[in-house]
A and B are shown apart, each in its own frame.
Chain A
């Protein structure tokens, strides 16, 4: 019995050890075969990737350039439209004065601040300020008053950092009414500075 148990144990141990060896051998083999194959595959992949990378940029760049040109065109158009809108706003937004006065009221100052911001942002523009009066009063006096109104705006823009070289003025007195009616409402609209951007 004892002999049988020993034999059995030995046999078991052998089987177990051989099993152990076999499994570890198999593991090693797998490992080896991986080590051998991997570099090849990786190298092949690398080449492919490199080739793809070398080819792709040419193709992709073309696509990208086309896209960017379209975008730039659109952006430029949008910018131009925005600028045109800004110019329109600049040119149409007047400032207004009280009868026989040339001092700037708060609303006029706010408007001029916007204009100064625009002029600071784009040095390619200059501005012509035209001073105007309502129809009441004496022509010569209104010409001088209109000039003073234009100068009020010029001085304020200069105080906001706009160079005086970029600002010219002209007085039209009562000669260029915005509204030709002979009513207080029209007079209010006519006592104004209007602005023209120039390049």
Chain B
């Protein structure tokens, strides 16, 4: 994705370079010492206050005023990105005092108009359509200090305007937090809108949905490779639950494990070269690792109980998995260096779906009082935190690649849809609006 898009960022040799250099110089001179290189948002803080951000409709900078609808759309994508990030509270446009066609530079903006309605940040944007392409410029201002924090320009295909805006959103987040944003990440999930369960992929915000299987069977448990270029999933198209690998660039699908019984729940090792999964070729479900040709590498868990849902630690020294060896499904870890197993969950009779984050926390699903909810815990099973409560069923947690967000499926509004929330359970926002149910998400970089 994005190979056709071209982006010209600030600093690229262009006519506008000197203008921007000048602005930067001006900014550096006038910024008080303590604000230099300020990280506006400390994303590692236990609680992060939200910035009130005003994002007026974008200005159409083209003389012919082509594509006037983009004024709202472009601002909308960016506003939604910043909202989903959980760090911002995009303000209601109805409160804006500004007149149309207002200037886009710190000198021309009346910051008082913005501070009086409570805005802490102001984001101004403009766009120019050139044939099938669109160039977008955004500038972020600190309303209190009355100055520009960031200015970026991006060029891309008009039909991929969401992608263009996600790039700009990422720039904004990087500027304010020092970390990359999640706005260019992708999801895979299972949907049953056609009447059959098929695999779909979408942008992280649930837009740009594409159905990628048409097996007219049962497709299940998609899992992205760590580089986001391949996807494994289960399908019953050849009878039983077998494992398929799809190369996203070429579209080629290979059946990589078709042993009798289960070939399910494959999860990628962080090196992208092996998969851990459940096989039951001898009648009992155990956990194995296989390579991408499907050849067995190791028999990791060999036990009479049901052993499913492996997930690797980021340093690949451990896996977490589910076993019912105690009589009910509970979460265990296996130390791959010494073979030691440890039980992590003891409360309740149904703890499943472990997902190991790049920040070394484990999210899981637990059944209590007839409903499933999502929890997180540390690697010893301690510091448990309940993230969902009182909203029917919440299942299949999956971490964003940066370990700061969780996508999950919930039937709180009737059918199952996908929601994202931050690692603390805050800002639970629905992101899919397809027909039927959407379940079993996987999050790719």
Contacts and interface: CB of A to CB of B under 8 A. Distances in A.
Nearest to A182: B411
A194 to B, nearest CB: 15
B278 A144 contact: yes
B440 interface: yes
Contact of A147 (B285, B309, B350, B395): B285
Interface stretch (B102-110, B257-265, B291-299, B426-434): B257-265
Nearest to B307: A144
Contacts of A8: none
A145 B324 CA distance: 10
A77 interface: no
B103 to A, nearest CB: 55
B322 A141 contact: yes
B220 A148 contact: no
Interface stretch (A13-21, A52-60, A63-71, A170-178): A170-178
A169 B328 CA distance: 23
A138 B240 contact: no
Nearest to A184: B370
Contact of A140 (B221, B349, B372, B439): B221
B190 to A, nearest CB: 9
Pick from A139, A145, A170 the residue with the most CB of B within 10 Å.
A139
Interface in A109-164: 136-141, 143-145, 147-148, 151
A187 to B, nearest CB: 11
B201 interface: no
Interface in B311-327: 322, 324
B136 interface: no
B309 A143 contact: no
Interface in B381-429: 395-396
Contacts of B306: 141, 144-145, 148
A40 to B, nearest CB: 85
Nearest to B280: A147
Nearest to A175: B218
Contacts of A144: 262, 264, 278, 280, 285, 306-308
Pick from A100, A138, A169, A171 the residue with the most CB of B within 10 Å.
A138
B241 interface: yes
Nearest to B285: A144
Pick from A144, A148, A173 the residue with the most CB of B within 10 Å.
A144
Given A100-B349, A144-B308, A145-B306, A138 B365 contact: yes
Contacts of A143: 220, 241, 262, 264-265, 278, 308
Contacts of B322: 138, 140-141
Interface in B234-278: 236, 239-241, 261-262, 264-265, 278
A57 B329 CA distance: 77
A43 to B, nearest CB: 79
B257 to A, nearest CB: 14
A99 to B, nearest CB: 9
B85 interface: no
A74 to B, nearest CB: 40
Nearest to A135: B393
B396 A138 contact: yes
Contacts of A137: 329, 350, 352, 367, 372
B283 interface: yes
Given A100-B328, A170-B240, A175-B220, A141 B309 contact: yes
Contacts of A138: 308-309, 322, 329, 352-353, 365, 395-396
A170 B239 contact: yes
A172 B236 CA distance: 9
A127 to B, nearest CB: 16
B230 interface: no
Contacts of A171: 240-241, 261-262
A173 B218 CA distance: 11
27 contacts: A100-B329, A137-B352, A137-B372, A138-B352, A138-B395, A138-B396, A139-B221, A140-B221, A140-B264, A140-B322, A141-B322, A141-B324, A141-B329, A143-B220, A143-B241, A143-B308, A144-B264, A144-B285, A144-B306, A147-B280, A148-B306, A169-B261, A171-B241, A172-B218, A173-B220, A175-B197, A175-B218
Given A147-B262, A147-B285, A171-B241, 19 more contacts: A100-B349, A137-B352, A137-B372, A138-B308, A138-B352, A139-B396, A139-B439, A141-B306, A141-B324, A143-B278, A144-B262, A144-B280, A144-B306, A145-B306, A147-B280, A148-B306, A170-B239, A172-B236, A175-B218
* Complex A-B, nearest 4 residue pairs according to Cβ-Cβ distance, in ascending order: A138-B352, A140-B265, A144-B285, A144-B306
Interface of A: 100, 136-141, 143-145, 147-148, 151, 169-173, 175
